[in-house]
Structure 1
Amino acid sequence: MKAVKEYRALVDLVRWIDDHTAGIELPADERSQIAVGCFDVALEHQAAIAHLYSVQLYGSMLALLRVLAESMVRGLWLHSCATDKELTAFKKGRLDKTFGTLIAEYENVLRTPDGVLSQFKSSAWTQLNSFTHTGFLQVTRRHKPGRVESNYSDEDLCHAMGAAGALGLITACQLITIAGRHTLVPVFEEKMSEYASPK
């Protein structure tokens, strides 16, 4: 099964990210701390996705992928785009922007409109919502002939773990950038290229 290989690659990647981000010194300003909190949550979700696969809790694993993406995108937007007023509103539990708007504003700052994150949203967002909010895609994968139980395709599981790996790499690269460890950026870019190669 390809999913088993994808799982092993994800576990190795989680360890690799931990090895390459452990002990980095991060800025103490409020904006950075809030963004780093988002990134840390995203990396925890990445590790949880690997663990949930290992214990065959596939529905929960797939549901968590959207949450990982949201954690990462919020961190990117809060660090690079949010005004002081928007940062204050976030601290009060308000973020009146859609996921698509956060991506668009972040990619505009980077001068890469319709970039990788927009493409990810365009290709995966409907499915992620269905898995997270117990929509049709999630429900239809709970049936086997004569039984109600997990019935996810190898392809579903591979895609989820591959996406979790890629999102985690983007997140970790942002952490090292915030930490000013720019010499590590090429190392992360090389790892991204390697991870995207067929396993």
Structure 2
Amino acid sequence: MVFDTQRAIFDLIRLEHFGAASSLLRVLFEANIKSEWLYLCATGKQIEQFKKDNIKSKINPKRPITFQEMIDEIEIKKPYLNGNLSEFKKYHWKGLNSFTHSGAMQLNNSLMLTIEQEESIAATALEFSERFAISSLGLIGEMFCNVKVLEVYLELAESRLGLSVQTI
């Protein structure tokens, strides 16, 4: 899902459909978090619940799991993230929702934009989608213990994201 969405964002930007591309950024973020949570944190029971689109919380099994609970559980499993996923959500969730649900940010993307504004929107959407696609590639390499995929992930993380092996 992450790779399909990233490709759709890329294609929409290429076709100058900036609003449609921006609306997929939340979908991309959620797909990345859910896949990582399923792999690292979900119980067998929660995986079965996921197949029915009805995942229950570990904290309160009578309620659906929240997106923030998934993030919290990932950050417990990966303490080296230093709360970066929560921080990212804190600062970007409202904007991502605005794009996805035709809010003010989406409306602003639909108005007459200068070339510089269009280029900025395109660059931001492409960078965002690239970061999460590369992150998902690393997770796939980890899930399947595939050294070649992990090597590609590390190369991309260094060349495209400026991360070194020591910071990953």
TM-score by length of 2: 0.81
Whole-Å Cα distance in 2 between the matches of residues 157 and 98 of structure 1?
30
Which runs of no fewer than 5 residues in structure 2 stay unpaired?
56-63, 163-168
Which runs of no fewer than 5 residues in structure 1 stay unpaired?
1-40, 146-150
Contact persistence 1:58–1:152 (CA under 8 A): no
In the alignment, structure 1 residue 61 sits paired with structure 2 residue 21: yes
Identity percentage of aligned residues: 28
User: Which structure ranks higher in relative contact order (CA pairs < 8 Å, sequence separation ≥ 6)?
Assistant: 1
Residue 108 (structure 1) aligned to one of 64, 76, 101:
76
Contact persistence 1:104–1:114 (CA under 8 A): no
Aligned residue identity for 1:177: E
Shift of 1:152: 5.1
Once superposed, what is the RMSD of the aligned Cα atoms?
2.1
In the alignment, structure 1 residue 165 sits paired with structure 2 residue 130: yes
Whole-Å Cα distance in 1 between the matches of residues 33 and 68 of structure 2?
10
CA displacement, residues 80-114 of structure 1 (integer Å, 9 cap, x when unaligned): 10112211211111132222221111110122464
Whole-Å Cα distance in 2 between the matches of residues 55 and 84 of structure 1?
42
Whole-Å Cα distance in 2 between the matches of residues 169 and 90 of structure 1?
24
In the alignment, structure 1 residue 71 sits paired with structure 2 residue 43: no
Shift of 1:140: 2.2
The match for 1:92 is 52
Contact persistence 1:104–1:113 (CA under 8 A): no
**What pairs up with 1:32-71 in 2 under 5 angstroms?**
41-71=1-31
The match for 1:176 is 141
- In structure 2, do the counterparts of structure 1 residues 141 and 184 end up closer, same or farther at CA, with 3 Å as the change threshold? closer
The match for 2:59 is none
Count of residue pairs the alignment pairs up: 152
Whole-Å Cα distance in 1 between the matches of residues 50 and 108 of structure 2?
36
Aligned residue identity for 2:86: S
Shift of 1:154: 2.2
Whole-Å Cα distance in 2 between the matches of residues 186 and 154 of structure 1?
31
SS of alignment partner, residue 2 of structure 2: helix
Shift of 1:77: 0.5
The match for 1:11 is none
